[in-house]
């Protein structure tokens, strides 16, 4: 069953930054991109489990802090030449209030 | 010989007229004796590039199209600083204001246009100028040195260029525009809003829908008063509201004028033998202000004068393809969504692109592109041809652009099918055929070579991708080696990037990536930290460090470990601690159940396995400065006991080391920097494998540089021997600053010195004057640093990033 959760306000996350939240025992990294859109993925690099929330955000991708794997935050896909995938979660923003919702 | 030649006089030494002459010389080099009059004291220059002159880097030399030699080589008599006051069409003679008279068989009027100055009350005050020529630029540069605030009236292309230039000069800029969106002649509202957002991010401010009623101030302008009663302050007012054809001379000489000088399809005026070309000419009711039509006119006139058959000039369907402050925009035809037309649009805020096509009766009649203009020429060609696109509208909107949807292919076939006379470079009127010829027959195998050979992509650079495409299409394997850039996002090297940043005074990583055509708009984990470092190094005072462009360890001011925990290393100057500090560290380690406490190789204590959310709490309780064990910065100054206790010690190595560590702590450097000071040549601090090592000798100090104890061990090179502690500071400051200013990001001193050679470093530091200048700069930079731990502890806004989000609340669906 999916649940929709209010997880944060846009102002809680720096632009090109990320915050973590644990929901149903899954650690999720919530990213705010330069255009103020918000994307969420499981906070675990498919390579060695690095915290993606600590990585550098470039466009719609994040670079894992451990070994620089590049992960697309929209699809969860790892960019070539590496290979892998992380789980993505649906997000929604109420532009008026800045509330960020996550569906899990 | 000369008697058989006809006499041609060109009035106006600008882009349009000289272009016509250039063309004529190619078609028929020996048929005319040519004289050119120019009112400005310069050779023909590229007016489009004036904003680059303002940016401070490009000087006159770089924007000159035809230098003095060109006139000489082509036997052209040039009178600069001469304003032609009279054309006697009866006796066929022109006269300049300084009294020079020249007979002509044919005369070309290419007097261009004048800026339109609003007749506002106060427009005669000091500090009110136009943006049209080099003189205006000089006034602007001067003003920027004395004043802070500038106001530009006019949010069209010219106004935005002026504003951009002023911003580069460090001024605060307000752009006043009467319309509710910018560049309304070239863009639709949507694209204009996107542009505005981009420009605002670069620091421009806008006052839209404002009508100026007067200029306030006493002797010098102090700002504007608007019709609605509001005001804006400014010590420099730039009017960029438009241009009007300069027709005074023609009018006074009895030549028919309307808005411009009226010409026929062969650019001939109402008087035989008198021609007009460029912005001053009016053809079929239109006076053009863009470069491409002016060049087309010039080409027709040249053919006509050379006696080469030509169908004449039939007017131009204009398209605008421009780079505005690093953003590509394109428009063509009618894009205003008039009644009876249908529009298709696609907007991608993520990539910052927008595309609109307007269709009427099954034909493409207009288009607007923002962010990605690679489809521009093809859309423009389709508009000009007037072909039916019925049923293919969506395909055109979505399919043509390989870039918009991230598909590959298509680009080269598009270039292949393009007609030879299609213009690729709108600024310089260079056709596909000309570029193909340069590649196939003139041996051009790089974009640079094509640029110097044909001028394609030499002005705004918007067509560079297409020039590259053509290069690959026609040169195939012969394409010159593509340079390796600092990362996959660019082909530019570190030195080129730093030079461009300085030249254009770029002020953010975003601006650099934008202006220098990065292939990934937000860069990657390699270039972003590098650019952030270079900008901070170049502008220690003005540049605002971008936390989001720093590597993880520097962002969290701790070393990330493989399990996602961090380590904490407090600063212990010179490795000398105290019982009180040791107790404090021990207590904190116990309280936060730190899994491991370890001595580091640099004489520090490392608390390992700390949870991210505990970091600020630990720093707060420690109340010690950050040891910076995580950054590209000064790490440690390791010391041995020296003459304080050691029986062999010759100098106070501990005191020297602490002095250096206190001086250089928090310094950003290209890569980590480790120092050491040994009190005697036994060298117990291992100073000869450090980036900067100091070894005491009897009566002095040996200074060693560029050692490394890491992956590849390298012993230091001896830089010099000095006598006093102050000299040690002077040399170490100078060496470190020279390294900061010249090394690549992530390049240790060892690699750097191997690359550039010890001799070049020695040479750069040999004069005391140079050393003191370097020392001054490093001291300036250091004076601006603060302790990052303390900052985070004190600011909730920074501290929040270490904590998890507080909790999820379910939402009723």
* pLDDT tens profile B57-112: 566 667 788 888 889 989 999 999 899 999 999 999 999 998 899 999 999 999 99
Q: Where are the beta strands (DSSP E) in B630-772?
A: 634-639, 673-678, 692-697, 700-705, 717-722
Set out the domains of chain A in order of their start, with CATH numbers. Answer: 4-103 (2.102.10.10)
| B560–A51 CB contact, under 8 Å | yes
Residues of chain B contacting A92 with CB distance shorter than 8 Å: none
> Considering CB atoms only, which of B562, B801, B805 is closest to A66?
B562
The yes-or-no verdict on residue B476 having pLDDT over 80 is no
> Considering CB atoms only, which of A23, A59, A65 is closest to B808?
A23
The yes-or-no verdict on residue B482 having pLDDT over 60 is no
Contacts of B491 (CB under 8 A, 6+ apart): B482, B483, B484, B485
> Considering CB atoms only, which of B555, B562, B804 is closest to A20?
B804
pLDDT attached to residue B404: 35
Per DSSP, helices labelled H in B395-550 are 411-417, 432-441, 447-454, 464-475, 494-504, 509-515, 527-538
Highest mean pLDDT among B226-230, B284-288, B373-377, B480-484: B226-230
pLDDT tens digits, B594-624? 999 999 999 999 999 999 999 999 999 999 9
The helix (run of H) or strand (run of E) holding residue B73 is helix B68-73
pLDDT tens digits, B735-759? 999 999 999 999 999 999 999 999 9
Per DSSP, helices labelled H in B182-311 are 189-201, 248-252, 291-306
Give me the mean pLDDT over the B625-634 stretch. 95
Q: pLDDT band at residue B689, thresholds of 50, 70 and 90?
A: very high
Range B361-364 contact pairs with CB under 8 angstroms and sequence separation of 24 or more:
B362/B388, B362/B389, B362/B390, B363/B387, B363/B388, B363/B389, B364/B333, B364/B389, B364/B396
CB pairs under 8 A between A and B: 92
Q: Please identify which residue in the block is written with the tokens 């490009």.
A: B58
> Considering CB atoms only, which of B525, B800, B801 is closest to A58?
B525
pLDDT tens digits, A48-70? 889 999 999 999 999 999 888 89
| B548–A102 CB contact, under 8 Å | no
Q: What percent of chain B has pLDDT over 70?
A: 94
Residue B389 three-state SS:
coil
pLDDT tens digits, B503-544? 888 889 998 998 888 888 899 999 999 999 999 999 999 899
Contact at 8 Å (CB) between B331 and B184? no
Reported ipTM: 0.92
Q: How far apart are CA B634 and CA B627, in angstroms?
A: 9
List the beta bridge partners of residue A6: A101, B809
pLDDT tens digits, B179-201? 999 998 889 999 999 999 989 98
pLDDT tens digits, B698-720? 889 999 999 999 777 899 999 99
pLDDT tens digits, B310-327? 888 988 777 777 766 678
Which of A42, A55, A58 has the most B C-beta neighbours within 10 Å, making it the best mutation to test the interface with B? A58
| Mean pLDDT estimate for chain B | 88
Residues of chain B contacting A38 with CB distance shorter than 8 Å: none
Residues of chain A contacting B805 with CB distance shorter than 8 Å: 7-8, 12, 19-21, 30
Q: pLDDT band at residue A6, thresholds of 50, 70 and 90?
A: very high
Set out the domains of chain B in order of their start, with CATH numbers. Answer: 2-113+245-306 (3.50.50.60), 128-241 (3.50.50.60), 494-550 (no CATH), 551-629 (3.90.480.10), 632-801 (3.30.413.10)
Q: How far apart are CA B61 and CA B516, in angstroms?
A: 21
| B350–A48 CB contact, under 8 Å | no
pLDDT tens digits, B385-432? 887 888 888 878 875 443 333 333 445 667 777 778 788 887 777 888
pLDDT tens digits, B197-248? 989 988 999 999 999 999 999 999 999 999 999 999 999 999 998 888 999 9
The yes-or-no verdict on residue B564 having pLDDT over 50 is yes
Contact at 8 Å (CB) between A90 and A37? no
């Amino acid at each position: 069953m999916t649940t929709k959760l209010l997880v944060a306000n846009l102002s809680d996350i720096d632009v090109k930054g990320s915050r973590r939240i644990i929901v149903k025992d899954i650690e999720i990294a919530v990213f705010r991109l330069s255009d103020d859109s918000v994307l969420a993925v499981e906070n675990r690099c498919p390579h060695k489990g690095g915290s993606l929330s600590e990585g550098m955000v470039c466009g719609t991708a994040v670079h894992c802090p451990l070994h620089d794997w590049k992960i697309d935050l929209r699809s969860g896909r790892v960019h070539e030449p590496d290979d892998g995938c992380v789980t993505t979660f649906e997000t929604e923003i109420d532009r008026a209030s800045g509330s960020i919702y996550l569906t899990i | 010989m000369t008697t058989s030649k006809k006499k041609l006089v060109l009035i106006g030494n600008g882009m349009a007229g000289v272009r016509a002459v250039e063309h004529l010389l190619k078609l028929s080099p020996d048929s005319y004796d040519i004289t050119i009059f120019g009112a400005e004291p310069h050779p023909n220059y590229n007016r489009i590039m004036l904003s680059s002159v303002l940016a401070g880097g490009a000087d006159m030399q770089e924007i000159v199209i035809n230098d003095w030699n060109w006139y000489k080589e082509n036997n052209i008599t040039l009178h600069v600083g001469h304003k032609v006051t009279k054309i006697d069409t009866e006796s066929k003679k022109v006269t300049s204001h300084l009294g020079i008279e020249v007979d002509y068989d044919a005369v070309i009027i290419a007097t261009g246009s004048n800026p339109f100055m609003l007749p506002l009350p106060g427009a005669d005050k000091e500090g009110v100028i136009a943006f049209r020529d080099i003189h205006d630029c000089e006034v602007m540069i001067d003003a920027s040195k004395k004043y802070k605030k500038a106001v530009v009236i006019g949010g069209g292309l010219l106004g935005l260029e002026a504003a951009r230039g002023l911003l580069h000069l460090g001024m605060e800029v307000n752009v006043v525009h009467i319309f509710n969106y910018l560049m309304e002649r070239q863009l639709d509202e949507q694209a204009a809003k996107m542009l505005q957002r981009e420009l605002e991010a670069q620091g421009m401010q806008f006052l839209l829908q404002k009508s100026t009623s007067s200029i306030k101030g006493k002797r010098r302008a102090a700002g504007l008063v608007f019709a609605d009663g509001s005001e804006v302050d400014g010590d420099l007012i730039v009017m960029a509201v438009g241009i009007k054809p300069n027709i005074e001379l023609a009018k006074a000489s009895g030549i028919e004028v309307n808005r411009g000088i009226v010409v026929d399809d062969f650019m001939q005026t109402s008087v035989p033998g008198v021609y007009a070309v460029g912005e001053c000419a009016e053809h079929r009711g239109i006076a053009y202000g863009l470069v491409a039509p002016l060049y087309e006119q010039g080409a027709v006139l040249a053919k006509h004068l050379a006696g080469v058959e030509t169908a004449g000039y039939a007017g131009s369907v204009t398209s605008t393809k421009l780079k505005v402050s690093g953003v590509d925009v394109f428009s063509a035809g009618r894009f205003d969504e008039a009644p009876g037309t249908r529009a298709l649009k696609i907007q991608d805020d993520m990539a910052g692109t927008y595309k609109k096509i307007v269709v009427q009766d099954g034909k493409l009649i207009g288009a607007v592109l923002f962010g990605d203009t690679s489809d521009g020429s093809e859309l423009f060609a389709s508009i000009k041809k007037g072909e039916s696109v019925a049923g293919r509208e969506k395909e055109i909107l979505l399919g043509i652009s390989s870039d918009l949807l991230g598909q590959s292919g298509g680009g080269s076939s598009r270039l292949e099918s393009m007609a030879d006379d299609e213009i690729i470079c709108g600024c310089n009127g260079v056709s596909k055929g000309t570029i193909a010829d340069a590649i196939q027959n003139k041996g051009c195998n790089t974009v640079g070579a094509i640029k110097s050979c044909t001028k394609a992509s030499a002005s705004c650079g918007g067509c560079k991708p297409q020039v590259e495409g053509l290069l690959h299409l026609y040169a195939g394997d012969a394409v010159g080696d593509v340079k390796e850039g600092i990362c996959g996002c660019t082909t530019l090297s570190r030195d080129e990037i730093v030079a461009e940043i300085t030249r254009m005074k770029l002020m953010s990583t975003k601006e650099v990536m934008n202006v220098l055509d990065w292939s990934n708009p937000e860069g990657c984990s390699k270039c972003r930290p590098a650019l952030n470092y270079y900008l901070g190094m170049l502008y220690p005072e003005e540049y605002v460090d971008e936390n989001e462009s720093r590597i993880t360890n520097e962002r969290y001011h701790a070393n990330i470990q493989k399990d996602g925990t961090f380590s904490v290393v407090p600063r212990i100057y010179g490795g000398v601690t105290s019982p009180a500090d040791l107790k404090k560290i021990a207590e904190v380690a116990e309280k936060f159940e730190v899994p491991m406490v370890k001595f580091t190789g640099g004489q520090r204590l490392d608390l390992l396995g700390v949870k991210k959310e505990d970091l600020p709490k630990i720093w707060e309780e420690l109340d010690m400065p950050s040891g910076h064990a995580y950054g590209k910065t000064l790490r440690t100054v390791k010391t041995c006991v020296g003459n304080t206790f050691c029986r062999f010690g010759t100098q106070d190595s501990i005191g020297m080391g602490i002095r250096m560590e206190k001086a250089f702590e928090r310094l950003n450097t290209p890569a980590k920097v480790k120092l050491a000071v040994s009190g005697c040549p036994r060298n117990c601090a291992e100073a000869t494998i450090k980036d900067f090592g100091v070894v005491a000798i009897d009566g002095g100090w040996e200074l060693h540089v560029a050692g490394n104890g890491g992956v590849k061990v390298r012993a230091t090179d001896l830089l010099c021997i000095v006598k006093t502690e102050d000299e040690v500071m002077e040399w170490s400051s100078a060496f470190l600053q020279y390294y900061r200013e010249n090394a690549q990001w992530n390049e240790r001193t060892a690699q750097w010195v191997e690359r550039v050679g010890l001799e070049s470093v020695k040479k750069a530091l040999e004069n005391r004057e140079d050393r003191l200048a370097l020392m001054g700069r490093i001291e300036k930079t250091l004076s601006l640093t603060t302790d990052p731990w303390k900052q985070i502890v004190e600011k909730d806004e920074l501290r929040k990033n270490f904590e998890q989000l507080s909790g999820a609340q379910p939402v009723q669906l």
